[in-house]
Structure 1
């Protein structure tokens, strides 16, 4: 059985060995980066190295060019807006800004569909390829579905046949209350 002194010295020896192996591992890593032509990148854990790989990735570049269609369905109005990935507005309309809906009811299902179709046509003229739809509103799903389909029809146009859908995916961002706020204290009589 080893004595206490032997155990202490044994631990120091192990530490010296690990320091030597770390130095050898670091030399191997630098030699590997030189061999791969990544000498300026530093170690593989460098953030710049990771960012340079991500910028070259095709899927990442596609995500930067994604456009969003925000559809807000309120009881009395409908807003449809097209933005880029940073949130800058490209085009948009509401049920009140359409000339055919001036002075008429803006809360009908037809008004929402006409607004979405108008924005879809203007998005096609801008040359958008694919979009992500974000639908918000506490209305029935049937109305949301009609608005999404009418935007797609406006984007496709009349003469175009079975063209690929520009909508990549649809995200319902309606905020739902989890049992709501606390009610006020009941009055004692």
Structure 2
């Protein structure tokens, strides 16, 4: 769960272990992390992010896992820890294109156990993928990352369908032993 980046030269122009920004807009403000929150003004910051260029879903998985892991209080207070343990933990990755410029990174990380490691660090973690006007079901790394490739990867083509499919993935991720954990 530590931020790392090899010291070797790369085309990723990483500054202070920020997200990939090698292509697309030259602005470092096109995307950034939003910590776990239930404050609408924090969530609304997403509206300022823009898609413009390459896709690096592996960073969404890695950073999302780090953010979710940071929500664990690791508390000696049994009630506080139990409340956390009983929460549904989901990582939904949205993608609008193939991994680029280096599509091999996602495949290698998944093959090395990135998604399984995420689930070991965050027990009960549900991982789902949504392809926006894109065939996410055709990505082998996505299929290897989810528990059930038939239900955990969904393609959408319009906003109404997107909202419906997000709700569907949330329902899939909220099930434990066949029973929903949403209240």
Say which structure is richer in helix.
Answer: 1
Structure showing greater Rg:
1
Say which structure is richer in strand.
Answer: 1
